[in-house]
Amino acid sequence: MIVERVKKDASEKVRAWALEKGIAEPPIPTYSACPAHVPADLSVPWPMPAAKILKRKPLEIAGELAAVLQSVPGIEKAEPAPPGFVNLRLSQGALVDNLKTAVAAPAGYGAGHAAKKRKVLIEYVSANPTGPLHLASGRAATLGDSLIRIFSRLGHTMWAEYYVNDAGGRAEKLGLSLKARYEGKDVPEDGYHGDYLKDVAAALPAEAASWTPEQFGRHAMKVLLETHKRDMAGFGVTFDRWYLESELYASKAVEKTLEFLRGRGMVYDKEGAVWLGTQAVEGADDDKDRVLVKSTGTPTYFLPDIAYHKDKFDRGFTELIDIWGADHHGYVPRMKAAIAAMGKEPWQFHAIVHQLVHLFRGTEAVKMSKRAGSFVSLKEVIDEVGRDACRFFFALRTANSHMNFDLELAKKQSSENPVFYVQYVHARICSIFREAEKTLGGAFDLAKADGSLLTAPEERALLVKLAWFPATLETCETELSPHPLGGYLMELAGLYHPFYEKCRVLEPKDPATTLARLALCAGVRDVIAQGLDLLGVSAPDKM
């Protein structure tokens, strides 16, 4: 993992240089890949923030640092560049060693090297069990499951949880809707109108004739929750626990949480209700205090949510990540205030709010599904375009951006389709190895490949891109999003095409070059397979 080693060694050199110059607390260096037109592999903008401290020109500092960084192992050349960068070019030997590391143990490439191990619970999807999962749930599932996979790859302890809102008035409302379907009557105006309840009603047992609305509701929730579990399994998503809100009430966790907050002086009584003093909580930015228990004695939905998050911490998790839909944006400040009221630090809670998904068929918007009601279900989309396309499309966008999902594009078997574009490279390389098995009789050992022969610009570009894979996973961790990995795989696939066109892999008259290029192809194949797997997408051998 050459990029990580170079960054670590370079940072130590920069820090030592800064301390010599009298900077007591040197700015932490950052590194980025260089644009295509720059003949370097890493760029360090550190001289620019340092210039303000030293009151010197950034380019002068860059020149001095370039001389210092030239001695870092794995660096072939370090050069200053305007207005104050140090551009680093990796050595061929270091890149080849990195390739061999990746090929020798693909599943371990970029694994377990996080500096600080974390213990994180990610809660995601958590859709109300009152209807089918809709397409936006697929976006949440992709975010959560991909982060679980990536964080685990980096060596963190992870736990995936689905919170089931099965308490409150939803059961009765759902029950009245199902009862109406069962009796052939009109569904209440504020009820659930999707045709999916017709199927539930048709399968009801004979004793349902004497059920109360609550019983109808409980039965419907049970049936619908089972569809959620099937849909998630079909989407390649597993949860360590499906946590029922009703469990909080059964264990008295809601009441205990209220007393806990009262003991910390965080709640007060006013007008017969119990309030959380969110405005007075240090570090909170909520705009008003929030009711926890109404004057009727009924808890608001906020109190069990706080109890649930307290339960997460009580189970030993040090960090919580919640993935919520766009309609929860205003809920973030009050939950942050609640976390602070428990005595926790801001870094221990992160809320990811994903934006809406707009479904299109070409240029025509798809409005709704008759069976699901006012939305298109996730299962309908999976059935039409497949799991791989759904997950990869979602993984290419940041959570905070609105997304247009084109069903026709997702089904295309061409380079226009992003997932096909990446999977095709993997399949093409697999076909090269099948051909190599025939022409070379399987008598090749990639560990003996002479990487010094990989001198073409297209070959070096692939070597450098492969070297950035571990750093890309770290970026996903930092940004709490899988989209850097999705973009990385697109770029890696894009670099393979010119290599394939200009560098013949199987050269019968040049076995040394053949072996070197097979090793390079294996690196691309394995990293694509690993990257796709972290996104929950398959890597087919044939297409």
**Fold of the domain spanning 2-90:** Gyrase A; domain 2 (3.30.1360)
Place 284 in a pLDDT band, splitting at 50, 70 and 90.
low
Task: Please check whether residue 430 is in contact with residue 525, taking contact to mean a CB–CB distance below 8 angstroms.
Answer: yes
Q: What is the pLDDT of residues 59-100, one digit of tens each?
A: 999 999 999 999 999 999 999 999 999 999 999 999 999 999
> From 3.40.50.360, 1.10.730.10, 3.20.20.140, 3.40.50.150, which CATH number describes the 418-534 domain?
1.10.730.10
* pLDDT for res 441: 75
Q: In the chain, what are the domain boundaries?
A: 2-90, 124-250+355-405, 418-534
**Over residues 469-478, mean pLDDT:** 95
Same fold, 2-90 and 418-534: no
Least confident of 244-248, 284-288, 390-394, 443-447: 284-288
Q: How far apart are CA 482 and CA 276, in angstroms?
A: 35
Q: What is the pLDDT of residues 305-333, one digit of tens each?
A: 999 999 999 999 999 999 999 888 889 99
Q: What letter represents residue 441's amino acid?
A: G
Phi, psi dihedral angles at 56 (to 5 degrees): -130, 170
- 83 cis-preceded (ω within 30 degrees of 0): yes
Asked whether the predicted pLDDT for residue 253 surpasses 60, the reply is yes
Q: What is the pLDDT of residues 102-154, one digit of tens each?
A: 999 999 999 987 778 999 999 999 999 999 999 999 999 999 999 999 999 99
Q: What letter represents residue 170's amino acid?
A: R
* Cα separations in angstroms, 198 against 62, 177, 229, 257, 429: 70, 10, 20, 40, 49
Q: Is the full-model pTM beyond 0.85?
A: yes
Q: For 124-250+355-405, which CATH class?
A: alpha beta
**Over residues 246-259, mean pLDDT:** 96
Task: Please check whether residue 84 is in contact with residue 58, taking contact to mean a CB–CB distance below 8 angstroms.
Answer: yes
**Over residues 480-489, mean pLDDT:** 98
